[in-house]
Amino acid sequence: MEDCELCGRQTEIAYVALVEDVELRVCPKCAKGKKIISSEGRGRAQKGAAAAKAEKGDGPALIEDYGRTIKEARERLKMPLKVLAEMINEKETFLNRVEAQRTTPPEALVRKLEKTLSIKLIEQEKIGESRRPGIKGEKATLGDFIGTK
Ligand SMILES: [Zn+2]
C-alpha cells in the first residue's frame, strides 16, 4: 500500500501519471483521464513514452541488481532514503521504487546515484554478461529477491 500523491488516499495499485509535466504516483481514481506513464500492475499493460524509449535501448544498461546495490550502498553509509532523496533532488517514493527495481531510473539519476554513493550501476559493455561461468547461486539469489517482495 502506498499513498496517492494527488489525493493522499491509500492505494494498492499505483499508476505513474504525468500531471502538468510532473510524474506523480497516483491511485487508479486519480489516474483516470491523466497521461499514464506506467502502472504498478503486472506486465506493461500501458505503454507510455518512457516504456517505448526503454524498448529502443536508449537508456543506460543497468546492472542486474541495481536496486539492491543502491540500497546496500546507502545502508552502508547509514543514509536514510529521505536524506539521499534530498541530496540528489529526487522524490523519496521514486527512489524507493528504484531500490525495489520497480522502475528504471533515468540516466541522469543513475549518474547522480553513482556519484553520491560511490557505486557503479551501469553494466560495463562486453564483459560477456550472459555467460559468467563459475558463479553459483545466481538463481537462488534471484529467487530470494522475488520472494521478499
Ligand atoms: Zn488519488
What three-state secondary structure class fits 26? Answer: strand
DSSP per-residue codes, 8-23: --EESS-EEEEETTEE
Q: Which listed CATH number (1.20.1440.230, 1.10.3720.10, 1.10.260.40, 1.10.1050.10) goes with 60-126? A: 1.10.260.40
Task: Quote the ligand 1 centre to 3 CA distance (angstroms).
Answer: 8
Task: Quote the ligand 1 centre to 25 CA distance (angstroms).
Answer: 9
- The cell for 17 is 501519471
Task: Quote the ligand 1 centre to 18 CA distance (angstroms).
Answer: 13
Domain segments of the chain: what residues? 2-56, 60-126
For the question of whether the overall pTM of this predicted structure is more than 0.75, the answer is no
Q: What is the pLDDT of residue 118?
A: 95
Q: What is the mean pLDDT of each run of 10 residues along the chain (149 residues)?
A: 90 88 90 86 46 50 94 96 96 96 93 96 66 50 52
Q: What is the pLDDT of residue 125?
A: 65
Q: What is the pLDDT of residue 115?
A: 95
Task: Quote the ligand 1 centre to 83 CA distance (angstroms).
Answer: 26
Task: Quote the ligand 1 centre to 85 CA distance (angstroms).
Answer: 23
